[in-house]
Chain A
Amino acid sequence: MDVQTLTFLIVGLSFALYIGIAVWARAGSTKEFYVAGGGVHPFANGMATAADWMSAASFISMAGIISFAGYDGGVYLMGWTGGYVLLALCLAPYLRKFGKFTVPDFIGDRYYSQTARTVAVICAIFICFTYIAGQMRGVGVVFSRFLEVEIETGVYIGMVIVFFYAVLGGMKGITYTQVAQYCILVFAYLVPAVFLSLMMTGHVLPQTGFGASLADGSGMYLLDKLDGLSTELGFAQYTEGSKSMIDVFAITGALMVGTAGLPHVIVRFFTVPKVKDTRISAAWTLIFIAIVYTTAPALAGFARVNMVDTINGKDGAGTEYAQAPSWIKNWEKTGLITFNDKNGDGKMFYSAGKITDPASKNEIKIDRDIIVLATPEIADLPAWVIALVAAGGIAAALSTTAGLLLVISTSVSHDLLKRTFMPNISDKQELRAARLAAVVAITISAYFGINPPGFVASVVAFAFGLAASSFFPAIIMGIFSKTMNKEGAIAGMVSGILFTIGYIVYFKFISPDLNSAENWLFGISPEGIGLIGMVVNFVVAVAVQKVTKDIPAEVIEMVDSIRSPKGSSDAHAH
């Protein structure tokens, strides 16, 4: 069977599985729709959360980014997993005890204010749409390359599948589908990595193969070879990177606090029965995430060596374009690889610099998003591995999209309608509103998938910056302070957001030509500014709180109650 038939088969089977689960797990009440009835086993919830967490960015882009950035790419590894530690230790158990459905719910109740709730809803919706646009691009890339359909058709197919199980099953359908999606994506991620590790170093575990010596007889360590290649081709050393220390620090910090404030991940902890289960489930989730996250940098290293060797040849003199391996030509068709034979010798050569710059020897431009997807082909792995990776990429994108859609629909039906504008609607009506909101959200995201805004990459900085400078401080102070009042929290959120948005908009949209280290505040790039936004939020909140009214006694009681784990299952029953 050829690669394409096999890919259709494997992707088709995975879709059939998702739909089967959706029919089995239909939601009957708002509680099932929002939090899967609150009765999901911690182990299953751990897997589902891991799938929810690991988006198309984790599966498709992350190893590619590390492959090109080396040490600098570590900000994503430490940032995303480290943020998870913050979430598990400082937020999740308390929010679970609080026992309502959403993050804006917590902010609105804790700060006894509709204004705070509305600010939180707007942030949540913005963060979610930003994220979905990225997922849809991932689905589009996979479809257009492996199934050779138009990107539009790919997006429609993806949307119909998500529509089916998210609208029908709500959180219940999504949770059990995500369990299946985790299994598919982790298998799809590990298989090529293990193959490559065995081929290049003789180690079964990519995590140890990464630090081992090459099996090509040279006895050289893989990472030393990478450092050597990078220097030779004009890049910064692979294990050193090129970003300044303060910027690496700030970006890691912003990603950490931003991740801890992501609404679609926080909501996952509302689905287990007890506070105790929240902690256990969080531990399972990070174990499941770590399997992929410790493999990613290894895969990145293997892919880098493999790619440079394939293009430049073992002798480093370049390979004849006429004899280029099929993956180069396949990806050229999608526009993600470009070859420009500058010196006209018919050979490909890869090095630092732009392919349009006559001063550089580089003749080949490779989009970093293809590294994971193209690796099985580069390493000449069997066709079923290629098909599996395609199914894994789609699983990663769909699982995250579904989680995000749920947050959007809950924000509309629960936070806006039920809690703000129409408090008298019945459970049935609220459920209908939630489904309707999911339909509208899917339609809007399909539009973004087909007409992706040209600034997706810069917008992602927004999502993390916003979460870092708004939600994270508000939730932390809501749990750990008994004096933070509504005036302080709102002033903090608003100033944190304005500062962060202002900085990002200035450097990304108004004056992109000034976007370089010498113009940045303390040398911190827009990607890392959320960390400073968070500090601004804390400082303003505390200052305003000092000069405004004390918080009401019943709110102090509420804080006491979320600090005590007992009674979480009752809290869930109402």
Chain B
Amino acid sequence: MAFKNDEQAKAYWSENLSLMFKLLAIWFLVSFGFGILLVDVLNEIRFFGFKLGFWFSQQGAIYTFVALIIVYAMKMNALDKKYGVDE
């Protein structure tokens, strides 16, 4: 094990999980939430020529996904450094 001690390993893992769950919450919100469950409500709102719910389902969710993965890669690589487990 590359961690200094078990505490460090536990702390690293819980920070990792908390980041993952936060990002997955956004993931769920923009796709299942805005794109499906709330689609009828959001469709009442106009976003340029789009109905907003429709836009989330066919465009917005994908842009958010890209942002999520980039944030994840940057934050996790920084977390590895913080705990000295980077390569």
Q: Is the CB of B62 within 8 A of A81?
A: yes
Chain A proximity mask over B31-49: 1 for CB below 8 Å, otherwise 0: 1100111010001000111
Chain A proximity mask over B3-18: 1 for CB below 8 Å, otherwise 0: 1000001001100100
Please tell me which one of the listed residues B20, B50, B54, B61 contacts residue A81 in the complex, with CB atoms under 8 A apart: B61
Q: Please, which residue of chain B has its CB at the minimum distance from the CB of A223?
A: B49
In the bound assembly, the distance between CA atoms of A283 and B1 in angstroms comes to: 27
Task: In the complex, identify which listed stretch (A302-310, A343-351, A558-566) lies at the interface while the others stay far away.
Answer: A558-566
Report A-chain residues with C-beta under 8 Å of the C-beta of B62: 77-78, 81, 290, 293-294
Q: Please, which residue of chain A has its CB at the minimum distance from the CB of B70?
A: A283
**Chain A to chain B contacts (Cβ below 8 Å), 14 pairs:** A71-B54, A74-B58, A85-B69, A86-B24, A88-B72, A210-B50, A275-B87, A280-B73, A282-B73, A293-B62, A560-B1, A564-B1, A564-B12, A565-B87
Closest 8 CB pairs of A and B: A566-B2, A221-B49, A74-B57, A279-B73, A211-B49, A297-B58, A211-B48, A566-B85
In the bound assembly, the distance between CA atoms of A569 and B86 in angstroms comes to: 11
Q: Is the CB of B69 within 8 A of A564?
A: no
- Which residue of A249, A561, A563 has the most chain B CB atoms within 10 A of its CB atom? A563
Q: Is the CB of A239 within 8 A of B73?
A: no
In the bound assembly, the distance between CA atoms of A297 and B47 in angstroms comes to: 16
Q: Is the CB of B73 within 8 A of A290?
A: no
Report B-chain residues with C-beta under 8 Å of the C-beta of A282: 69, 73
Q: Is the CB of A290 within 8 A of B65?
A: yes
Q: Please, which residue of chain B has its CB at the minimum distance from the CB of A93?
A: B76
Report B-chain residues with C-beta under 8 Å of the C-beta of A221: 49
Q: Is the CB of B49 within 8 A of A297?
A: no
Known A212-B49, A290-B65, A566-B86: A239·B54 in contact at CB below 8 Å: yes
In the bound assembly, the distance between CA atoms of A253 and B69 in angstroms comes to: 19
Q: How far is the CB of A289 from chain B (nearest CB, A)?
A: 9
In the bound assembly, the distance between CA atoms of A530 and B20 in angstroms comes to: 24
Known A71-B54, A81-B61, A93-B76: A283·B69 in contact at CB below 8 Å: yes
Q: How far is the CB of A22 from chain B (nearest CB, A)?
A: 31
Interface residues of B in 49-76 (CB under 8 A from A): 49-51, 54-55, 57-59, 61-63, 65-66, 68-70, 72-73, 76
In the bound assembly, the distance between CA atoms of A374 and B69 in angstroms comes to: 34
Q: How far is the CB of A565 from chain B (nearest CB, A)?
A: 5
Report A-chain residues with C-beta under 8 Å of the C-beta of B24: 85-86, 89-90
Interface residues of A in 75-110 (CB under 8 A from B): 77-78, 81-82, 84-86, 88-90, 93
- Which residue of B32, B51, B54 has the most chain A CB atoms within 10 A of its CB atom? B54
Report A-chain residues with C-beta under 8 Å of the C-beta of B57: 71, 74, 77-78
Dominant secondary structure of chain B at its interface with chain A: helix
Q: Is the CB of A211 within 8 A of B50?
A: yes
Q: How far is the CB of A411 from chain B (nearest CB, A)?
A: 28
Report A-chain residues with C-beta under 8 Å of the C-beta of B1: 560-561, 564
Known A78-B35, A90-B20, A567-B2: A239·B51 in contact at CB below 8 Å: yes
Report B-chain residues with C-beta under 8 Å of the C-beta of A223: 49-51, 54
A470 within 8 A of B: no
Report B-chain residues with C-beta under 8 Å of the C-beta of A90: 20, 24
Please tell me which one of the listed residues B3, B31, B69, B72 contacts residue A78 in the complex, with CB atoms under 8 A apart: B31
Known A82-B65, A276-B86, A564-B9: A249·B32 in contact at CB below 8 Å: yes
In the bound assembly, the distance between CA atoms of A74 and B42 in angstroms comes to: 16
Interface residues of A in 38-97 (CB under 8 A from B): 66, 71, 73-74, 77-78, 81-82, 84-86, 88-90, 93
Q: Is the CB of A252 within 8 A of B36?
A: yes
Interface residues of B in 13-30 (CB under 8 A from A): 13, 16, 20, 23-24, 27
Report A-chain residues with C-beta under 8 Å of the C-beta of B3: 564
Known A85-B69, A283-B70, A293-B62: A566·B9 in contact at CB below 8 Å: no
Binding site for B on A (CB under 8 A): 66, 71, 73-74, 77-78, 81-82, 84-86, 88-90, 93, 207-208, 210-213, 221-224, 239-240, 245, 248-249, 252-253, 256, 274-276, 279-280, 282-283, 286-287, 290, 293-294, 297, 560-561, 563-569
Known A223-B54, A279-B77, A282-B73: A287·B66 in contact at CB below 8 Å: yes
Q: Is the CB of A249 within 8 A of B37?
A: yes
In the bound assembly, the distance between CA atoms of A282 and B73 in angstroms comes to: 8
Report A-chain residues with C-beta under 8 Å of the C-beta of B72: 88-89, 279, 283
In the bound assembly, the distance between CA atoms of A274 and B31 in angstroms comes to: 31
Known A223-B49, A293-B62: A276·B69 in contact at CB below 8 Å: no
In the bound assembly, the distance between CA atoms of A210 and B50 in angstroms comes to: 8
Report B-chain residues with C-beta under 8 Å of the C-beta of A283: 66, 69-70, 72-73
- Which residue of A74, A253, A282 has the most chain B CB atoms within 10 A of its CB atom? A74
Q: Is the CB of A82 within 8 A of B86?
A: no
Q: How far is the CB of B50 from chain A (nearest CB, A)?
A: 4
Q: How far is the CB of B59 from chain A (nearest CB, A)?
A: 6
Q: How far is the CB of B28 from chain A (nearest CB, A)?
A: 9
In the bound assembly, the distance between CA atoms of A212 and B55 in angstroms comes to: 12
Q: Is the CB of B87 within 8 A of A276?
A: yes
Additional pairs, 9, CB under 8 Å, beyond known A89-B24, A283-B73:
A77-B61, A77-B62, A78-B62, A82-B31, A210-B59, A223-B50, A223-B51, A290-B62, A290-B65
Q: Is the CB of A565 within 8 A of B69?
A: no
In the bound assembly, the distance between CA atoms of A226 and B62 in angstroms comes to: 22
Q: How far is the CB of B41 from chain A (nearest CB, A)?
A: 12
Q: How far is the CB of B47 from chain A (nearest CB, A)?
A: 7
In the bound assembly, the distance between CA atoms of A491 and B47 in angstroms comes to: 48
Report B-chain residues with C-beta under 8 Å of the C-beta of A224: 49
Report A-chain residues with C-beta under 8 Å of the C-beta of B55: 211
Q: Is the CB of A563 within 8 A of B66?
A: no
Q: Please, which residue of chain A has its CB at the minimum distance from the CB of B12?
A: A564
Q: Please, which residue of chain A has its CB at the minimum distance from the CB of B24?
A: A89
Report B-chain residues with C-beta under 8 Å of the C-beta of A81: 61-62, 65
Q: How far is the CB of A427 from chain B (nearest CB, A)?
A: 26
